[in-house]
Amino acid sequence: MGTRRKSRELALQMLFQADMGKQQGEEVRKTFWRERAEVGNEVQGFAEDLFRVALERSSEINKLIEGHTENWRMDRMAAVDRNILRAAVAELLSSPETPRAVIINEAIEIARKFSSPESVQFINGVLDSVGRELEKA
């Protein structure tokens, strides 16, 4: 597995921990990295960047996601799915040099690993729609 994929998975796990445990970012960082001392600096750095952007811009990210889902509020989505979406939208917003298709494909692969088969299509559709909106802006 590449370093970027590993970073994206770790960012998802951090977001999931913050979301489900109702924890602040700093609290998540303390416990999360203490248990993962083997993670290299490059992997940790990119994961931290995605996590930071997702938290700092959470209101904007949640609005973008909800604006591209029909009758789905964030709190009704599966926790894994909403956090995959948050991490991917954070990357779309913060890494314009990374092709949109790459970010979406990575999110889909992570969904295949951590979520249900139905979620893959949902995540693909939402991210494609969000990505097109961001590209126009």
Query: CA angle 72-10-57, nearest 5°?
Result: 50
DSSP letter, residue 62: H
Residue ranges making up the domain that contains 8: 3-136
Query: Using one digit for the tens of pLDDT, what is the confidence trace for 39-55?
Result: 999 999 999 999 999 99
CA distance 70 to 17: 26
Note the pTM of the prediction, 2 decimals: 0.95
SS3 content of the chain, % helix, strand, coil (to 5): 80, 0, 20
Place of tokens 């029909």: 70
Query: Using one digit for the tens of pLDDT, what is the confidence trace for 116-137?
Result: 999 999 999 999 999 999 988 7
Q: What is the pLDDT of residue 1?
A: 66
Phi-psi region of 22 (alpha: psi -120 to 50; beta: other; left: phi over 0): left
The two three-digit tokens of residue 73, written as one number: 């509020």
Q: Yes or no: say if 7 and 40 are a contact pair by the CB < 8 Å rule.
A: no
CATH at residue 106: 1.10.940.10
Query: Using one digit for the tens of pLDDT, what is the confidence trace for 15-25?
Result: 999 999 999 99
Domain count, the chain: 1
Q: Given pLDDT bands bounded at 50, 70 and 90, which one contains residue 37? A: confident
